[in-house]
Amino acid sequence: MHRDRQNTAIYPGSFDPLTNGHLDLIARGSRLFDHLIVSVLVNTSKQALFTVDERVAMMAEVFAPFPNVEVDSFDGLLVEYAARRNASAILRGIRAISDYETELQMAHLNRRLRPETETVFLLASEEYSFVSSRMIKEVIKLGGDVAQFVPEPVLRSLRARFHEKRYIES
């Protein structure tokens, strides 16, 4: 069958910071869609560790080897951003029932707002199902090693941020 339109999906999130769980989902998503836009939500109400520009820069480095993955940022309504980017799907990950409940509400809301955008869910891989950005920040703040949970550029930025902080505090 001939398709003349690219199949584009958006994977939105805070990515503060990107984890190996996100990375796994993006690698798997990049095999399902022609073009995957990983987009950082500009959320002024959430207290973030890294600025949007810092997150985008780290992610651009991580996804340089993925030719069909683009890193971007957006604010405002997700479905309007999807329309602007000609995306037919929103990709989200589900780790546990707790994710499912909030994801279900968001997917229903987004369908009401723009029925032509489908939300597609991928289950987190078992080995990453407990990994979250919040958990990474807690572990590194308490002096733990997070090397196994985040990609190299993120690890570098986390170490720089927390070593700077310890240096300033001491």
Helix, strand, coil abundance in the chain, percent, nearest 5: 45, 20, 40
CB count in 10 Å sphere of residue 27: 14
66 Cβ contact partners less than 8 Å away, ≥ 6 residues apart: 26, 27, 30
Respond yes or no: is residue 163 known to be catalytic: no
CB count in 10 Å sphere of residue 11: 24
Q: Where are the extended beta strands (E) located within the chain?
A: 8-13, 35-41, 69-74, 89-94, 118-123
29 binds ligand ADP (CB under 6 A): no
x/- track of binding to ligand ADP for residues 128-147 (CB under 6 A): x--xxx--------------
95 binds ligand ADP (CB under 6 A): yes
Nearer to ligand ADP, 8 or 119 (CB): 119
Among 99, 118, 135, 162, binds ligand ADP (CB under 6 A): 99
Q: Output the smallest distance, CB 149 to ligand ADP, in A.
A: 9
- Candidates 14-22, 67-75, 136-144, 153-161: pick the segment binding ligand ADP (CB under 6 A): 14-22
- Annotated catalytic residues are 22, 46, 95, 133
